[in-house]
Amino acid sequence: MARKGITRRLFAGAALASIPVASMVQAQPARRRVVVVGGGFGGAAAARHLRLADASIDVTMIEPKSEFQTCPFSNYVLAGFKTMADITHGYGALTGRHGVTHVRDMAAAIDPAAKTVRTAGGQTIAYDRLVVSPGIDMRWGALPGYDEAASAVLPHAWQAGPQTTLLRAQLEAMPDGGVVVMSIPGNPFRCPPGPYERISMIAHYLKKSKPRSKIVALDSKDAFSKQGLFQDAWKELYGPMIEWVPLGQDGKVVQAIPGEKTLVSEFGQRHRGDVVNVIPPQMAGRIARDAGLAATEGAMAGWCPVDPFTFESTRAKDIHVIGDASIAGAMPKSGFAASSQAKFVARAIAASLAGGPQEAPVYANTCYSLVAPDYGISVADIFRATPNGIVAVQGAGGVSPRTPKDAAQFRDQEAHYAEGWYASATKEIWGS
C-alpha cells in the first residue's frame, strides 16, 4: 500500500514538474477579495460572516480603532451601572479565529472604477466587492452654534467613547438641584428610541444621587418610538423630574450657545442647563459621502440609497452600503439592523462571487430600552424587500404591552432579555 502511495505521489510530482510555471499560476483560481470599511456593528459583522460563508474569500477590514465601544449600553454608563470596559470589544477573534485582515487606518478614498480603496496612510487595497459601513457623522453647524468645538462643552455622546465619558463626568459634577437640558433632532437619526432611553437613564441616576434635579428634553418631533411605554414609565418612576417638550410646544432647538450652556428654541425661549446634551442632526459617515454614495438632495440627502434586495449602492456597482449610513426604508438605524443587513449581505456576496443562487432577503430588528435597571421595554420587527423599498411585515413584530399581567416581573424580565441580547449580539460580532 505504502509503495503504491509513494508511486502515485511521485507520478503526480513528475507530471506537475512538466507543466510550465505560467500555466500552473493560471490554473489557480484567483482569490476573491472583499474589503469592508468600518469595524462597528455593520462592518465587523459583515467581515466575520463573509469568512463564515466562504473561508476562501480574503476579507480586509479597514478600521482605525484597535477596539470598538458600543453605543448600545452607553446610556447605562451615563447612569453609572455599566462601565466603558463593559461596552468595549476587541478585534482579536476576527483577526485570529476568523482570519480577517484588520488594516488599522481610515479609508480615505474609494475609486469605484478601479475597484480600490486608498487609506489615509497611503495603502491602495483592491477589491472585488466592497462593503461600506462607516456609521454616522454629525452635521456640524446644521444647528447654528453647534460645531465640533461646541461638543467639548455640550457633549452629544452619540458616538460611544470620550464623549460618553465627558457627559458622565458632567453629570457627576452637577450639583443636586441642577438642570440637564437635552436637544433631540428630527428624523432620521441613529437609534430612534436612544434619546428617550437616555432621558430615563439620566433620571435614574439623578433620582438616586441628586433627587432635586430636573431634565428638560427639547424635541424636534411630536412623536417618538415606544412613546406610550416610555411616558407611562416616566410618570411611574420619575414623576415631575422629566419634562419632555415636543415640537408643538416649542421643543425644536434652533441655536446653541456653548459659552452660556444655553439652547434657544424656535420661538425664542432660552434654556440654560448645568449639563447640556445636544444630539445634533446626522448624516452618513464621510467616506460614503466623499465616494458619491450619498443622495445630494431631498429629505434623505446625506444618506446612501441602496437596492433593497442586495444593499448594493444604487450609485456604484459592487459596493454595498449597510448600517446607519444606508437608506433602509422602514428599518431603523440600529446595531441590530446593521448586523442583520451585514449577515445577509455577507451571504449574498459569497454566493454571488461563487456564481451561486441568491437567497431572498429577510431582515430583522429588535430594540430593547431600559427605563430603569429592572424595567425593560422592547420593539421587534421583521422586514422584507420590495421594489419600492424595505417594509415591515405586518403582524410579524410588536412592542411590549402597556399593561402586562404581573407588570413588575414582566418589565424585570425584559431588562434581563436586554442583557441577553447585548451579550449574544456582541459575542456574535466581536466575540470568540
Ligand X SMILES: Cc1cc2nc3c(=O)[nH]c(=O)nc-3n(C[C@H](O)[C@H](O)[C@H](O)COP(=O)(O)OP(=O)(O)OC[C@H]3O[C@@H](n4cnc5c(N)ncnc54)[C@H](O)[C@@H]3O)c2cc1C
**Site of interaction with ligand X (CB under 6 A):** 37-43, 62-65, 68, 71-72, 74-75, 106-107, 133-135, 158, 190-191, 194, 198, 285, 287, 323-325, 333-336, 338, 367-368
Cβ of residue 296: shortest distance to ligand X, in angstroms? 19
104-133 burial: b if 16+ Cβ within 10 Å, else e:
ebebbebebeebbbbbeeeeebebbbbbbb
Tell me whether residue 336 or residue 375 sits nearer to ligand X (CB atom): 336
Residue 224's CB: how many other CB atoms inside 10 A? 17
Q: Which is nearer to ligand X, 264 or 344 (CB)?
A: 344
List, in sequence order, every residue forming a beta bridge with 370; answer none if it has no partner: 376
Q: Which of 311, 392, 308 is nearest to 347 (CA)?
A: 311
Q: How far apart are CA 431 and CA 92, in angstroms?
A: 8
Nearest C-alpha neighbor of 245 from the set 226, 271, 207, 225: 271
Shortest approach of ligand X to residue 286 CB, angstroms?
6
Q: Which residue number, 227 or 262, has a Cβ lying nearer to ligand X?
A: 227
Q: CB of 71: closest distance to ligand X in angstroms?
A: 3
- In the bound state with ligand X, the residue whose beta carbon lies nearer, of 229 and 257, is 229
Q: Backbone phi, then psi, for 381, in 5-degree steps? A: -150, 150
Residues 372 and 204: their CA atoms lie apart, in Å, by 6
Pairing mode of beta strands 262-265, 270-272: antiparallel
Name the minimum Å distance from CB 298 to ligand X: 21
> Which residues, other chains included, contact 100 with Cβ-Cβ below 8 Å and sequence gap of 6+?
47, 48, 51, 59, 60, 61, 91, 94
Q: How far is the CB of 305 from ligand X (least distance, A)?
A: 15
Residue 287 CA, distance from chain mean position: 16
CA atoms of 244 and 216, how far apart (whole Å): 6
CB of 47 to ligand X, least distance (A): 11
Phi, psi of 147, deg, nearest 5? -120, -175
Measured from the CB atom, the residue of 176 and 290 that comes closer to ligand X is 290
Residue with smaller CB distance to ligand X, 264 or 425: 425
Query: Rounded to the nearest whole angstrom, what is the least distance from the CB of residue 77 to ligand X in the complex?
Result: 10
Q: 107 vs 241, which CB is nearer to ligand X?
A: 107
C-alpha cell at 265: 428654541
Q: Other C-beta atoms within 10 Å of 140: how many?
A: 14
Residue closer to ligand X (CB basis): 265 or 340: 340
Residue 164 CB, nearest approach to ligand X (Å): 8
Q: Is there a cis peptide before residue 144, judged by omega within 30 degrees of 0?
A: no
The DSSP call for residue 228 is H
User: CB-wise, 176 or 307, nearer to ligand X?
Assistant: 307
Which residue is closest to ligand X by CB?
A: 40
CB of 82 to ligand X, least distance (A): 12
191 phi and psi angles, rounded to 5 deg = 60, 80
